[in-house]
Amino acid sequence: MAVSDLCNPHLASGEPLLWSASASAALRKAELHRQRLFFGLTGCLCLLIALTLALRSLESLILTATTPSLLAAFTPLYLVFALAMAALALWGFRRMAVDPHRAAHFAMTPARLFAVDRDGVLVDEILASEVDGVVAGGRRRNYDLYVLRRGDPQEERTFAMQHLERPLEVKAIIEATFSSPTPEETSA
């Protein structure tokens, strides 16, 4: 199904589609693979540490049961750290299963930018009047674009456009379409 077919249901009547593109399947797959590898290794390492600490706790219990010593004071700490590391391992394994990138297709009209998922469900949008700027960042070769919102100094609600094939071209299109003159420019 074409990107425009997925975006058309979200257009207001008479609202023209200026630009649309899909996230690169290859870039998404590579990013997902890197994330799964990172979280999987983190989970395995934390699980190994948790098991080591649990065994050390068990060993301390056996030793202090036969000959009481100062080691008994540290036995609960081994168990607490083992549980903490087990929780981190669980977190890592759970993060492996998540695909954090819901937006698969992006579109621009004169009034807004919006993103839809693979099924054509609207994921996010930003109105032209809210656009404060566009920042390219992330990977070295294929940048991700982050459209900043006016009135969001902490940048908590950026509109992310990730895994685009030619992000710098898209950045130029967005800036040309949504650039608004500053108050100094309008008064001059």
Domain with 88, as residue range(s), is 28-96
Strands 105-108 and 112-116: antiparallel
User: Does one domain contain both 125 and 108?
Assistant: yes
pLDDT in tens, 81-120: 999 999 999 999 998 877 666 778 888 888 888 888 888 7
Domain boundary residue, one of 96, 124, 145 = 96
In a domain, 185, yes or no: no
Residue 67 pLDDT class (50, 70, 90 cuts): confident
Domain annotation covers residue 154? yes
User: Could you tell me the pTM of the whole model?
Assistant: 0.65
Residues 18 and 107 in one domain: yes
**82 inside domain:** yes
Q: How far is residue 75's CA from residue 142's CA, in Å, rounded to a whole number?
A: 50
Model pLDDT for residues 69-81, shown as the tens digit of each residue: 776 777 788 889 9
How confident is the model at residue 51, as a pLDDT? 96
Structural domain count, the chain: 2
Instruction: pLDDT band for 185, please (50, 70, 90 cuts).
Output: very low
Co-location of 78 and 60 in the same domain: yes
Q: How far apart are CA 93 and CA 8, in angstroms?
A: 38
